[in-house]
Chain A
Amino acid sequence: MLSDAEIAAVRLLGDRVAIRDTIHRYCRGVDRHDVEMIDSVFFADSVDNHGDVLCYRQEFAAWGNRLHENISMAHAHNITTQLIEVSGDEAAAESYVIFVLKRKDGSTIHIGGARYLDRLERRGGLWRILLRRVALEWRCDVTQEQAAHRLSTLQAGTWDRQDGSYALL
């Protein structure tokens, strides 16, 4: 049997895992243009602030998907350095992200770095982002005369349930 102190430690570790998972699931949702999955990291009354964009959940996923469709043919949001502070039912998280977009010309690769600054809350046992603000740090374009082709024999990602990842999870 776990002692009270041990149970408290398990709960705290569990909170930290759940918060990490929420932020990573966001990336999966965005990269697959999966509105339902994107929505699953926010509450209905959560607010997202990406630059000039300031909106509640109901508008956010559509805005993000449209933005990515307009400027790219594929993209990946890579979470790297993460710091999480939990205090009861509230948490603060800073997550670094490297976003990479394949531009519509098929050869230019756009890479940028930002920080997701999140205020999270636990309601009914589930952690969700209550407020997200984004600090953009750098962006660049790698132009190539020809697209690189080491990976051309691999399956390419898609923006629907045809993507290989849905066969797994």
Chain B
Amino acid sequence: MLVRDKRILELLDRDAIDTALATYCRGIDRHDVTIINTAYFPDAQDNHGPYRDIVSKGFAEWGNALHAGKTRAHMHNLTTRWVELQGDVALTDTYVLFALLLKDRDEVELGSGRYLDRLERRDGSWRIAARRTTIDMRMTADARVFFAASGGYLNGRWDRSDLSYQRPLSLSPEQRATLDKKGPAPLRENVAVAHAWEVMTPDPEAQLQWMVERRAVAACIGQSVRGLDRGDAELARSAFASNAGIVSGQLTTPYGDYIRNELAMAEGEDAGQARHITTHNARVSADEAVAETYVIEMRRRRNGLSVWAGGTRMLDRLSRQDGRWKIDQRTLVADWELDSARVSFNPADGYLRSMRGTGDPLQLDARDQAPR
């Protein structure tokens, strides 16, 4: 082993785990059996609604037939992540926002679920060894707009003619000709101007430490979100500094009250809450950090009659105290929200459900006992 530094090894592990999880989505969304199977070990088990078996007994084929039977296109969007590294084993909780363009009617179905995985490193390669899949909410919406105007966009394909396989990515000869007709190409920009957020670190030690802090800042923000969704007040609180405030509009609330209010909603009106973390930009120095994190929040009403979704941004100021990152102030900004009564959630679909506290499928021991 030439790499011994623990910080580098951890970053490499986390990167490889992230890639394995994304590989699954790419494989499923392209109907590529080879890629799907690359995400798992051959003896991995998936508890995936109707499919509860060893993956190599036909999971990929089952998944592809399911999607081909029901949809014209689909995307499995990975959002909020939680990774616990334990040597050659990693326990992960990854949220998924799935979108299905249905086949039998002009509608999109949107759903929120989680992949609860145990990954292992075997022969130096991280893959999924056991998976449990939950689906927690689903709604449909009118997709006629998709068919009304194409805008000339390419659509995805379920074979290797999909553009994502092309290396290097290029324009078609016709596109190249169209571009050339518009006039001369701009001069090649040999040296770009750095953006203010870009950190240039000639010193590898400094670059490494910066990456370690970047990850820690993202993890702290993730903790604040995960604590709320899992009903774990302690975990949510541990992400904030003792005098932290939450700014919502004109109001600044002590973070403890904010957490209590959100958790009370989950005990009351909401049967489920899922905060999907997406776009994230941050600037991190030695002891201070700022970050903007997009969230797609989804909430299923307890009466089963509607789903609420909202797009917010968390604007966080953090500082490092005694080696630990804490949020000092969070400002919430709203971009959009919706309430939909077109709920398509089927409580008897055979999928596992997320729960708050100890009933969550994350806590069950079967995830830790994949067949070997």
Contacts and interface: CB of A to CB of B under 8 A. Distances in A.
Given A83-B19, A100-B296, A135 B251 contact: no
Nearest to B110: A111
Contacts of B19: 83
Contacts of A112: 146
B66 interface: no
16 contacts: A2-B205, A3-B3, A5-B2, A6-B5, A10-B8, A11-B207, A17-B211, A45-B186, A53-B152, A78-B278, A80-B278, A94-B164, A119-B168, A142-B340, A144-B339, A151-B310
A7 interface: yes
Interface string B204-244: 11011001001000000000000000000000000000000
Contact of B170 (A78, A81, A131): A131
Contact of B308 (A102, A140, A148): A148
A139 interface: yes
Interface in B7-32: 8, 11-12, 15, 19, 22-23, 25-26
Contact of B279 (A77, A139, A141): A77
Contact of A16 (B15, B144, B192): B15
Contact of B311 (A76, A152, A165): A76
A90 to B, nearest CB: 7
Interface residues of A, number: 99
Contacts of A68: none
B186 A21 contact: no
Interface of B: 2-5, 8, 11-12, 15, 19, 22-23, 25-26, 73-79, 97, 99-101, 107-108, 110, 141-146, 150-156, 162-164, 166-171, 175, 178-179, 182, 185-195, 197-198, 200-201, 204-205, 207-208, 211, 214, 247-251, 276, 278-283, 290-292, 294, 296, 308, 310-313, 315-317, 331-340
A58 B179 CA distance: 13
B143 A139 contact: yes
B12 A169 contact: no
B185 A78 contact: no
Contacts of B192: 43, 123-124, 126, 128
A160 interface: no
- The 4 A-B pairs at the shortest CB distance, nearest first, are namely A52-B152, A5-B2, A78-B278, A80-B77
A1 to B, nearest CB: 8
